């Protein structure tokens, strides 16, 4: 069984390494600024002498899906808001999800993510996406061309560089060119048409990159932000409470406003085709996501929305090593051994220990923590806990020895990546 898990882990990591390099451009979260009130384990945490509780700042998630004139899902994105800074919410991350991602549907069958909308509408799509991505979403929108046009109007026109014609198949089965190859000055209507365009019989992989480029172009247009940020209802610690303008997660329109009021990042999830005839007997356009990559991304940009998948302990993985692939490998080994990773941070300001270190508040977590950490190699040390973090049982800090124990050389990939982004 362990050999099977190891083979699965290695194959998924290889599939995800190409994209994880892009993860270093995502905003890194700070948990040190938000202390306070609530802990899911308050019944146990009443002993004097415990470190102050640190609350992971709110990072709500939302689902956005585009549908064409025939009601077929053409694009799905998980949207994540950046944590509040000085009582203001603005900016975030757009995580592009393949519509053909394999997932469990409401009728207990396996199908494509897009099938969840066909069978269960918007509610079914959100539930399937939450299960697939392991997060809770506070709001959602499914929009057709007209609705998308309205959403994108503030950011148009945009110059979009197309490697090939964007072609779609209409309800009558006739193909038409939405936008020609080359540089196109696209208004909101054309942008919406590009987002919903798909040809009969053509795999999603042919347009997944184009849709990602479109989101990236929109993010570039947004720059430091367009529109009015949202003032959060909660007070910033140590200051007077600001007058709230809205709850950014109250509805999709407010969420969207907050997202594009600040710097916005784009990340595309990697996938591999499902060719197993048992899982995909009819050979439909279905892909497998890299579970470790999904966990790494969600635990980095929207940790407060992560839903632990296992009944085991929860980990905060932090790395001072400056190579996000090393973090991904650590997350992978933990996840495929049955641990929950709920928070991830690249933090080169940390002092790098020689060996991986773990710390925990509750002694009863120690046996599990040590069993899981051994999957990362023989070398580790236990250090006193300096922080008590809401919903985190164990803090893992990657050490210098992990560069060797991770054994990235076996994957034959470059070891130099772009430096991590600073908080915006």
Exposed/middle/buried for 300, CB within 10 Å: 0-12, 13-18, 19+? buried
Element (H, E) at 146: helix 145-152
For tokens 């007209």, name the residue.
146
DSSP 135: B
pLDDT bucket at 201, cuts 50 / 70 / 90: confident
CB proximity list for 252: less than 8 A, separation 6 or greater: 62, 64, 139, 140, 141
Mean pLDDT, the chain, whole residue set: 85
pLDDT beyond 70 at 70:
yes
pLDDT score of 108: 85
pLDDT score of 117: 97
pLDDT beyond 60 at 193:
yes
pLDDT bucket at 37, cuts 50 / 70 / 90: very low
SS3 110: strand
Helices and strands (H, E) in the chain, number of each type? 10, 22
Q: Which two tokens stand for residue 126?
A: 């959100």
CB 91 within 8 A of CB 263: yes
pLDDT score of 340: 97
Q: What is the mean pLDDT of residues 375-381?
A: 89
Distances (CA, A) of 108 to 105, 128, 350: 5, 11, 45
pLDDT beyond 70 at 416:
no
* Closest among 320, 341, 309 to 402, alpha carbons compared: 320
Q: How many CB atoms lie within 10 A of CB 95?
A: 25
Lowest-pLDDT range of 20-34, 124-138, 347-361: 20-34
pLDDT beyond 70 at 95:
yes
pLDDT bucket at 415, cuts 50 / 70 / 90: very low
Give the bridge partners for 317, in sequence order.
Answer: 344, 396
pLDDT score of 379: 86
- Residue 18 CA to residue 270 CA, distance in Å, equals 8
356-360/380-382 β-pairing: parallel
Q: What is the pLDDT of residues 292-308, one digit of tens each?
A: 999 999 999 999 999 99
pLDDT beyond 50 at 40:
no
Measured distance between the N- and C-terminal CA atoms of the chain, rounded to whole angstroms: 44
- What DSSP string describes 209-234? HHHHHHHHHHHHHHTT--S--EE-SS
pLDDT beyond 90 at 190:
yes
Cis status of the peptide bond prior to 286, with omega within 30 of 0: no
Q: What is the pLDDT of residues 250-287, one digit of tens each?
A: 799 999 999 999 999 999 999 999 999 999 999 999 99
31 vs 163, higher pLDDT: 163
Q: What is the pLDDT of residues 131-161, one digit of tens each?
A: 999 999 999 999 999 999 999 999 999 999 9
Q: Which two tokens stand for residue 86?
A: 């000085």
Lowest-pLDDT range of 7-11, 46-50, 221-225: 7-11
- Residue 130 CA to residue 132 CA, distance in Å, equals 5
CB proximity list for 415: less than 8 A, separation 6 or greater: 323, 325, 408
CB 214 within 8 A of CB 197: no
């Amino acid at each position: 069984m362990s050999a099977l898990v190891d083979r699965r882990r290695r194959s998924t990591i290889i599939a995800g390494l190409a994209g994880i390099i892009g993860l270093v451009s995502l905003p890194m979260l700070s948990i040190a600024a938000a202390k306070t009130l609530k802990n899911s384990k308050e019944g146990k945490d009443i002993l004097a002498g415990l470190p102050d509780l640190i609350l992971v700042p709110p990072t709500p998630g939302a689902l956005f899906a585009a549908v064409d004139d025939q009601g077929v899902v053409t694009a799905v994105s998980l949207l994540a808001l950046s944590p509040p800074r000085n009582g203001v919410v603005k900016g975030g991350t757009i995580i592009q999800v393949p519509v053909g991602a394999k997932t469990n549907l409401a009728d207990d069958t396996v199908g494509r993510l897009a099938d969840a909308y066909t069978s269960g509408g918007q509610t079914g799509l959100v539930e399937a996406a939450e299960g697939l991505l392991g997060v809770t979403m506070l709001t959602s929108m499914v929009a057709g061309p007209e609705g998308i046009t309205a959403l994108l109007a503030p950011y148009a026109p945009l110059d979009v560089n197309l490697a090939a014609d964007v072609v779609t198949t209409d309800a009558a089965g006739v193909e038409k060119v939405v936008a020609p190859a080359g540089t196109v000055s696209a208004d909101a209507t054309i942008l919406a048409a590009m987002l919903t365009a798909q040809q009969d019989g053509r795999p999603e992989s042919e347009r997944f990159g184009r849709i990602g480029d479109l989101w990236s172009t929109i993010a570039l247009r947004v720059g430091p932000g367009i529109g009015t940020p949202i003032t959060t209802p909660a007070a910033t610690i140590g200051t007077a409470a600001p007058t709230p303008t809205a709850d950014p997660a109250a509805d999709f329109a407010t969420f969207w406003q907050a997202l594009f009021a600040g710097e916005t990042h784009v990340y595309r999830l990697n996938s591999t085709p499902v060719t197993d005839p048992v899982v995909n007997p009819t050979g439909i356009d279905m892909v497998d996501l890299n579970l470790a990559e999904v966990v790494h991304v969600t635990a980095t940009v929207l940790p407060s929305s992560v839903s632990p998948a296992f009944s085991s302990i929860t980990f905060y993985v932090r790395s001072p090593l400056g190579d996000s692939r090393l973090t991904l490998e650590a997350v992978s080994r933990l996840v495929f051994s049955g641990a929950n990773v709920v928070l991830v941070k690249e933090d080169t300001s940390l002092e790098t220990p020689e060996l991986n270190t773990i710390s925990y508040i509750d002694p009863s977590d120690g046996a599990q923590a040590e069993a899981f950490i051994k999957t990362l190699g023989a070398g580790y040390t236990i250090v006193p806990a300096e922080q008590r973090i809401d919903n985190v049982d164990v803090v893992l800090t990657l050490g210098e020895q992990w560069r060797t124990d991770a054994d990235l050389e076996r994957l034959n990939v470059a070891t130099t990546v772009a430096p991590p982004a600073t908080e915006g």
